[in-house]
Structure 1
Amino acid sequence: MPKVLVPLAQGCEELEAVTIIDLLRRAEVEVVTAGLTDEPVTASRGTVLIADTSLDAVLDQDFDMIVLPGGLPGATHLQEDARVSDLLRRQQAQDRYVAAICAAPRVFAATGLLEGKTATAYPGALVADDVPGTRLTDAPVEVDGKVVTSRGPGTAMDFALQLVEILQGRATRDSVERDLSRNT
């Protein structure tokens, strides 16, 4: 079973975080949510999220993918946390997936993960001058090698379904998507 880490920072975008967690779990992916601190996470719209564990508790674990929800100031907190940067660099060195949505792709830019890549982000979160060597698009989701990026809350479902497909294959993605469309 694939294993995914979703770090949760104060001020993250709850729609993105919950959509990612929910759809990956529907696809039978082991999702570990980890708070930057031991405290409950108050998301950008005031929703309180309780992480499974703390980031410190999972620093030595390996993950098939690390997914960063966006939102502000959540993405800023992720970007300023050296543990997150270290985990992302280790993930890249091990040729494993990293994914980010909304403002969180700027965490990848700050750690050099977007160099030479095609990426997308929330409008204005990344500016071409700030990420030389990166091709920025306005696509809902971009996959470039092992780097996956997405625009924001409105693309969270497409983003999460793309992650399901990467981790569990097209048939599982189709099954999850079909189950979401049923009127039962």
Structure 2
Amino acid sequence: MSSVLVPLATGCEELEAVTVIDLLRRAGIDVVTASLDGEPVRASRGVTLVADTHLDEALRRDFDMVVLPGGAEGARRLGEDDRVTELLRKLADSERFTAAICAGPKVLAGAGLLEGRQATAFPGALDDVPGVELRGGEPVVVDASVVTSRGPGTAMDFALRLIELLAGEAQAAEVEQQLQRPSGHRQYNGEA
């Protein structure tokens, strides 16, 4: 079973965090949420999220993927945390997945993971980052082991694409069918 770490920081975008956590768990993927300081996390819209563990505890494990939720303040806090940067680089060096949505791709850029890659993010989040080929109109962009997405409105497409990468297309389709999304809505893989 694949394992995913979702670090949560004060100011994170709750819709993005919860959508990713929920859908990946529906797919049978082992998802661990970790707060930076071990305390409940007050998200960008005032929702309090209680993480499974403290980041220091989570870092004792190996993960197949790290997913960074967005939210400007949450992404800033993740980007300022040396433990997060070190983990992202470690996963990238071992060709495991790093994924981020909304303002989260700026954290990937700060760790040096977007240089020469295609990516998307919340409009303006990567405008001042050199060396990134922005694919702003796409809901989800996969470039090798780096996955990026635009924002709250693309969170479901993002999560389904992550499931496909970790557990296969059939598992992603099964989870999507259970969600009762309108037929033909799949955009996470570029289809209309």
Query: If the length of structure 1 is used for normalisation, what is the TM-score?
Result: 0.96
Alignment partner, residue 100 of structure 2: 100
| Matched letter for residue 84 of structure 1 | V
1:9 aligns with 2:29: no
Alignment partner, residue 147 of structure 2: 148
Give the 5 Å matches for 1:84-99.
84-99=84-99
Give the 5 Å matches for 1:72-91.
72-91=72-91
Partner SS, residue 98 of structure 1: strand
Alignment partner, residue 184 of structure 2: none
CA distance in 2, matches of 1:108, 1:60: 21
- Structure 1, unpaired ranges of 5+: none
The size of the alignment, in residue pairs, is 181
CA RMSD of aligned residues (A): 1.2
Instruction: Point out 4+ residue stretches in structure 1 off by more than 3 angstroms.
Output: none
Partner SS, residue 23 of structure 2: helix
Alignment partner, residue 112 of structure 2: 112
CA distance in 2, matches of 1:115, 1:62: 25
Alignment deviations for residues 130-170 of structure 1 (CA, whole Å, 9 cap, x no partner): 32221001111000000000000000000000000000000
Partner SS, residue 174 of structure 2: helix
Query: If the length of structure 2 is used for normalisation, what is the TM-score?
Result: 0.92
Q: Percent identity?
A: 64
- Structure 2, unpaired ranges of 5+: 182-192
CA distance in 2, matches of 1:117, 1:61: 28
Alignment partner, residue 136 of structure 1: 134
Alignment partner, residue 121 of structure 1: 121
| Matched letter for residue 29 of structure 1 | I
Alignment partner, residue 27 of structure 2: 27
